[in-house]
Amino acid sequence: MQVSSRHVLYLSYDGMTDPLGQSQVLAYLEGLSSLGYRFTLISFEKAERFDKSKTVIEQRCIAAGIKWLPQNYTKSPPVFSTMYDVWRLHRIVADVYAADKFQLIHCRSYITALVGLSFKQKHGVKFVFDMRGFYADERVDGNLWNRSNIVYDFVYRYFKKKEVQFFGTADYVVSLTEAAKKIIHSWAQIPNQPVPIQVIPCCADLDVFDASKISQQTKQELRASLQLTESDFVLSYLGSIGTWYMPDEMLDCFKALISIKPEAKFLFVTNESPDFILQKADEKNIARASIRIVSSPHNLVPVYLSLSDASIFFIQPVFSKQASSPTKQGELMGMGILHICNKGVGDVDAIVQQTNCGVVVDNFSNADYLKAVNELLQKVGRTNAQIRTAAFQYYSLEKGVKLYAQVYQSIGV
């Protein structure tokens, strides 16, 4: 077997045994491998998830011809543990380069880009900065870095300085959103403007998120297990509820739905604590009988979503979220599910307006919730096929792979 000369080193500070590692890294690399690229993949794995899913990831990598070099993720102490991981990564990358030179270093987010930038400057290898979001601003907006603390303020300013270097030095930048691309191109402090940017949102496997593959019997059995009747209007929420997501506002919107459809049920497909959600419902005077909470492995998520008449997600509309592409939007659209969301998050509201796949809430008020719910109910059942068609336009995994390949080819790899 001939070894491909197009050797790419892919660096991810997220683990491949994390859900996003499997859906948003491995899925792309498997597709690119089929196009003739040869990958060495370095990722940082959390111990519990690594022990549980190591074999599955190894098998996927072997099947795709990906050389996987997993590393232990260091969690504490904050900041210093990350500095240690970056130091280790520098050494590992140097060893890989010495043994098997790569033509391109593809860095997912800012931590690994510290190493990519160094190798670009030292060895002249091509450098793709796959930014994923405005990292330093996300840490501040999410109250993870308090800038009144001298250490976090220093780290924030350090990464904002490095951010300019990443954008100004990378051979190509990958952004999740058009909104972030416009912001980056407006920054006069970045040299070589306009820097080359390809927008690739968080894609979904639309062969998996396909309602037509779920039988009516399966749905009926699942409805029965959740004590849902055919007449219940099911509003779903998919994913974690932390940092960015807004459970209070989503429950307020659900109350507006109940005022019109008293039989409505709110189905949470999440690994979040049921007690946390139920306590929130109690605070809103929402009957617990109207709430359903299930924890689901990723492969069964489409089955649970198939019970939805509509879905909802509200995300804090802070500056850093202009660069965010919620994975759940592509998955919902693949299932043909209408959704209620809020403006000010990446390209979410623009996509909703362009595709008629849901309703956008302008403000978090009862009047806005009632307006959104009424608009939503007028659309229910009319646009499912149209929404799925639009998913292929924006969120197809195959399209994402092709766009990554175009980035590689445009810089000569």
Contact 173, 320 (CB under 8 A): no
Among 295, 290, 293, CA closest to 265: 290
In a domain, 145, yes or no: yes
Closest CA to 10 of 102, 107, 119, 98: 107
**Interior/surface letters 47-74, b for 16+ CB within 10 angstroms, e for the rest:** eebbeebeeebeebbeebbbebebbebe
75 in a structural domain:
yes
Range of 287's domain? 211-394
Pairing mode of beta strands 126-130, 234-238: unpaired
Same domain as 384, residue 301: yes
d(CA 74, CA 81): 5
- Cα-based distances in Å from 232 to 250, 262, 281, 296, 335: 18, 9, 18, 21, 19
Euclidean distance between CA atoms 397 and 28, whole angstroms? 7
Instruction: Say yes or no: 69 and 198 in one domain.
Output: yes
Is 179 among the domain residues? yes
Q: How many domains does the chain have?
A: 2
222 and 197: one domain? no
Burial class (CB in 10 A: 0-12, 13-18, 19+), 317: middle
pLDDT at 1: 40
pLDDT, tens only, 61-109: 999 999 999 999 998 998 899 999 999 999 999 999 999 999 999 999 9
| Contacts for 20 with CB less than 8 Å, ≥ 6 apart | 14, 327
Given a cut of 70, the residues of the chain with pLDDT beneath it are 1-5
pLDDT of residue 243: 83
Specify the pLDDT at position 399: 96
What pLDDT does residue 4 have? 60
Q: Give the number of other Cβ atoms within 10 Å of residue 385's Cβ.
A: 11
pLDDT at 68: 98
Residues 169 and 78 in one domain: yes
pLDDT at res. 2: 47
| In a shared domain, residues 403 and 387 | no
Burial of 165 by CB count in 10 Å (0-12 exposed, 13-18 middle, 19+ buried)?
Answer: middle
**Domain check: are 272 and 302 in the same one?**
yes
Both 224 and 90 in one domain: the answer is no
User: Structure pTM?
Assistant: 0.93
CATH code of the domain in which 140 resides: 3.40.50.2000
Q: Does residue 147 share a domain with residue 215?
A: no
Give domain status of residue 120, yes or no: yes
Domain for residue 2, yes or no? no
Considering the domain architecture, whether residues 145 and 15 belong to the same structural domain is answered as yes
Determine, yes or no, domain membership for 1.
Answer: no
Tokens of 318: 């802070």
Residue 20 has a pLDDT of 84
Predicted pLDDT of residue 266: 98
CA–CA distances in Å: residue 132 to residues 82, 115, 259, 369: 18, 16, 39, 30
Is residue 255, in this structure, part of any structural domain at all? Answer: yes
Describe the crossing of helices 247-260 and 274-283 by its angle, rounded to 10 degrees. Answer: 60
283 and 154 in a common domain: no
Asked if residue 106 and residue 37 are part of one domain, the reply reads: yes
Please check whether residues 282 and 382 belong to one and the same domain: yes
Both tokens of 150, joined, read 């001298």
